[in-house]
Amino acid sequence: MIIRKILNNNVVVTENAAGREIVAMGRGIAFKRRVGDHIFDSAVEKIYTISRADMMDRFKELVASLSIDYLQTANNIIEYAETKLDCRLNDSVYISLTDHIHMAVHRIRNGILIKNMMLLDIKRFYEKEFQIGQYAVNLMNQKFNVDLPDDEAGFVALHIIDAQLDFRQPMANRILNLIEEIGSVVRMVCRIDFDRESMNYYRFITHLKFFAKRVFMHQESADEIDNDMGDMIKRKYSQAYACAEKIAALVERKYEYRVSSDEKFYLTIHIAKFLSKK
């Protein structure tokens, strides 16, 4: 391989046999080397072939400033995830997960803890992805000598879940349409306008993305929320619960999917947050 650009001592831009631009990683592969120098295949630990040019540019920009340890850790987690889920993840996960690992380690070393408000949802509805998140946290703790909480396992799981959704595929269009339909129900029933820059909106849309995926894959969730808790939520957030019932009716009528009491519970909580800001 011929070096076309050096990103740092451990990462270079080169080309494969077909003349396609790739990023090659290996500890010290660019040390004391220049553009135009040859590197041996045996020195390369990982080759990144990212299909979209804009994504490749973002990846090159990211890895240029990072330690190889973050790249290796992300690779390990992605390989583990693909084996456990028996699927190929979207190329974007190499960018999002590598960046997330770096930021998570930076935060914990500076005493900054971020609560994952969707942790219960993730544990209940995405058991495999959460187990991958736990594997990732254990690996990160060992690699970087930190002590990350379960919240971080949930954040990693979200990256893995997102990487399984390809928004160029037909299902993705259906997911986006359903999210828009649910958003319209909330706007009309609760008479609110969304602040699309808020964390509440981000969390709601993230939850809806996973919910919509379950709808179209016919993955029903069990009714496990304690009845007393459910009744308390209905009474306390009656308007939000009425809206969740409208959403459930829409989904059951149009998509022939039974919306569980658990799902209504979580929808109610999300909607209640918008109403509290109204």
Query: pLDDT by residue (tens digit) across 243-260?
Result: 999 999 999 999 999 998
Whether pLDDT at 270 is above 80: yes
Residue 82 · residue 88 · CB < 8 Å: yes
Any long-range contacts for 224-232 (C-beta under 8 Å, 24+ apart)? 224/124, 224/262, 225/261, 225/262, 225/265, 229/265, 230/261, 230/265
Residue type at 179 in one-letter notation: I
Of the chain, the percentage scoring pLDDT greater than 70 comes to 95
The model's confidence at residue 133, banded by pLDDT at 50, 70 and 90, is very high
The pTM score is 0.63
Q: In this predicted structure, what is the pLDDT of residue 243?
A: 96
Place of tokens 């973002």: 58
pLDDT for residue 96: 85
What's the rounded mean pLDDT across residues 28-55?
A: 82
Stretch 152-167: mean pLDDT, rounded?
83
Which whole-number Å values give the CA distances from 261 to 32, 119, 223, in the listed order? 62, 18, 6
For residue 218, give both structure tokens. Answer: 């016919």
Whether the per-residue pLDDT at 202 is higher than 80: the answer is no
Above 90 in pLDDT, residue 220?
no
pLDDT interval class at 278 (50, 70, 90): low
Q: Give residue 276's pLDDT.
A: 86
